[in-house]
Amino acid sequence: MSHSSLSALPAPDRLDVTARLRDALLEASFTADGLLELLGAPAYAALARSEIVPALRATRGDTPLEMLVRLFLLQQPVPHARVEGVLPVDACLESGWLVRAGTDEVAATVDVRPYGGAGGEDWFIVSDLGCAVGGAGGIGSREEGVVLGVGGASTTLAGITVRTPVSAALDLGTGSGIQALHAAQHATRVTATDINPRALHITALTLALSGAPAADLREGSLFEPLRDDETYDLIVSNPPFVISPGARLTYRDGGMGGDDLCRTLVQQAGERLNEGGFAQFLANWQHVEGEDWQDRLRAWVPRGCDAWIVQREVQDVTQYAELWLRDAGDHRGDPAEYQARYDAWLDEFEARKVKAVGFGWITLRKTGAAVPSVTAEEWPHPVEQPLGETVREHFERLDYLRTHDDAALLTGHFKLAPEIVQEQVGLPGAEDPEHVVLRQNRGMRRATKVDTVGAGFAGVCDGSLSAGRILDAIAQLVGEDPVLLRDRTPAQIRLLVEQGFLEPA
């Protein structure tokens, strides 16, 4: 492994300098809000597409903030004399945050991206140069050990993570340390692992520069760095989930063949969870000829765990290969090499009989229940992040449903969840709708078809009457046999509870 073109990193143990650097960055409003205000939304958004020209144009002045953006986000050297009053320059040079460039300029050794915490915290994510935003495509990096900053996958995982206070959290494949940083806000102890020692070094810098407590950093693959008896209340991982022909980039290629890395991660998480604990992963999975993707994923779920698997997107193998070829900037290189790589990708899929690849979220919760509840569903529509509370409540409702048979459901009381609307679908002008849809405006933003009884039932649910009493009233209203209605409706109630339209009161 060669790290030749990756720069030497700042010293992780110079906490005095890191604290002074943090103060200086905050003083100059080098924060998520400050950055957005300075760059404007289009230039800010362009950064996420690895386009820096708009940001360079927006930072041609010489205010402290403009200089810091050029230095720490746009990889531009700045005059030593100009940053002298803004940063502890000499200490930064000595501890390795900065290096001399030319005769009178300084350059950053890492990218530093201001990042706003959910509670308004001003944090900083450290990554390799050119990797703060937009992935490796921006720098066309071929270095296998390069450490990326924040990407869409990072913020998706951070958003779906259950944020209840816990004593021990594990961030597996920590990279820049973004998940560990989030976890440090609600976990007493955070363990962060990575197979890439450079990532652990960078995680230490991210945590220190963000003013967060240090994590327990461990080098190694998957769960290997843990002691046999080590268990956690929360495990999160945005793993190197890309299904690719051969491991090339550590941050994305798991190097285990097909979707084996994701499968292993999910399977082995079960025995690492404490009772009631959550494990949350982003993953890619193969759609194999003649196999139902849901069956494939269900088989991954470890014993003693409930699971919620959400497939957010499916790409055919050509779209998938192109996505990752572009991610690595391969499309900008030699066309013959590009074609050979593309070919290799399709060869790999052909050999595995893979037709498409699913992208999504896998959440496990350890319950020890004899009959675990496993939901594998497709929901490609927009959702409202953060979803951590929605995820927690999903599993809480599963517990309720597991412990309530149909008779118990009918004696139960339910409340319609907030911000649910009813939509009637049918031909324009028709007297009766063809069907009724209930739609959530929060969380998963689900929509579900119901019949008129289901819609009427949901509408009356304010927690005061039992489900059975409501059904009896509806039966009388529509002239249906109440016994039959009590018999056939629990399945619908169950679904509405499971999907969060109705909450047990």
Ligand X SMILES: C[S@@+](CC[C@H](N)C(=O)[O-])C[C@H]1O[C@@H](n2cnc3c(N)ncnc32)[C@H](O)[C@@H]1O
Query: What is the rounded distance in angstroms from the CA atom of residue 73 to the CA atom of residue 30?
Result: 10
Applying CB under 6 A, among 83, 178, 354, 364 the residue interacting with ligand X is 178
Rule CB under 6 A: say whether 157 interacts with ligand X: yes
Query: CB-wise, 251 or 293, nearer to ligand X?
Result: 251
Query: CB-wise, 109 or 193, nearer to ligand X?
Result: 193
Rule CB under 6 A: say whether 135 interacts with ligand X: no
Query: CB-wise, 175 or 412, nearer to ligand X?
Result: 175
Applying CB under 6 A, among 137, 175, 302, 454 the residue interacting with ligand X is 175
> What's the min distance (Å) between Cβ of 181 and ligand X?
10
What's the half-sphere exposure (Cβ side, CA atoms, 13 Å) at 357?
A: 25
SS3 280: strand
- Contact range with ligand X by CB under 6 A, out of 38-46, 168-176, 373-381, 462-470: 168-176
The residue written with tokens 């490796």 in the block is: 136
Query: What is the rounded distance in angstroms from the CA atom of residue 179 to the CA atom of residue 154?
Result: 7
Nearest CA-CA partner of 458 in 440, 442, 476 = 440
Query: What is the rounded distance in angstroms from the CA atom of residue 371 to the CA atom of residue 304?
Result: 8
Site string for ligand X, 184-223 (x = CB under 6 A): ---------xxxx--x---------------------xx-
- Contact range with ligand X by CB under 6 A, out of 73-81, 101-109, 176-184, 444-452: 176-184
Applying CB under 6 A, among 238, 244, 390, 499 the residue interacting with ligand X is 238
How many residues bind to ligand X according to rule CB under 6 A?
23
- Contact range with ligand X by CB under 6 A, out of 78-86, 235-243, 378-386, 388-396: 235-243
432: Cβ contacts below 8 Å, ≥ 6 apart: 426
> What's the min distance (Å) between Cβ of 362 and ligand X?
15
274: Cβ contacts below 8 Å, ≥ 6 apart: 168, 231, 232, 233, 366
> What's the min distance (Å) between Cβ of 249 and ligand X?
9
- Contact range with ligand X by CB under 6 A, out of 46-54, 174-182, 408-416, 453-461: 174-182
Query: What is the rounded distance in angstroms from the CA atom of residue 393 to the CA atom of residue 386?
Result: 13
Nearest CA-CA partner of 151 in 191, 183, 111 = 111
Query: CB-wise, 55 or 147, nearer to ligand X?
Result: 147
> What is the phi-psi region of residue 379: left when phi exceeds 0, alpha when psi lies from -120 to 50, beta otherwise?
beta
- Contact range with ligand X by CB under 6 A, out of 248-256, 327-335, 458-466, 470-478: 248-256
Rule CB under 6 A: say whether 122 interacts with ligand X: no
Terminal-residue alpha carbon distance, the chain = 58
Query: CB-wise, 238 or 390, nearer to ligand X?
Result: 238
Nearest CA-CA partner of 113 in 44, 60, 194 = 44
Applying CB under 6 A, among 250, 280, 363, 499 the residue interacting with ligand X is 250
Query: CB-wise, 267 or 375, nearer to ligand X?
Result: 267
Nearest CA-CA partner of 493 in 479, 466, 478 = 466
Query: CB-wise, 179 or 286, nearer to ligand X?
Result: 179
Query: What is the rounded distance in angstroms from the CA atom of residue 257 to the CA atom of residue 280?
Result: 22
Applying CB under 6 A, among 240, 372, 388, 456 the residue interacting with ligand X is 240
Query: What is the rounded distance in angstroms from the CA atom of residue 364 to the CA atom of residue 161?
Result: 11
- Residue 3's φ and ψ, nearest 5 degrees, are -110, 25
Nearest CA-CA partner of 162 in 381, 365, 416, 2 = 365
Applying CB under 6 A, among 10, 239, 302, 468 the residue interacting with ligand X is 239
Query: What is the rounded distance in angstroms from the CA atom of residue 410 to the CA atom of residue 223?
Result: 45
> What's the min distance (Å) between Cβ of 177 and ligand X?
7
> What's the min distance (Å) between Cβ of 259 and ligand X?
14
> What's the min distance (Å) between Cβ of 180 and ligand X?
8
> What's the min distance (Å) between Cβ of 118 and ligand X?
15
- Residue 306's φ and ψ, nearest 5 degrees, are -80, 155
- Are the CB atoms for 169 and 232 separated by under 8 Å? yes
SS3 283: strand
> What's the min distance (Å) between Cβ of 157 and ligand X?
6
Q: Which stretches of the chain bind ligand X, using CB under 6 A?
A: 154, 157, 172-176, 178-179, 193-196, 199, 221-222, 238-240, 250-252, 254
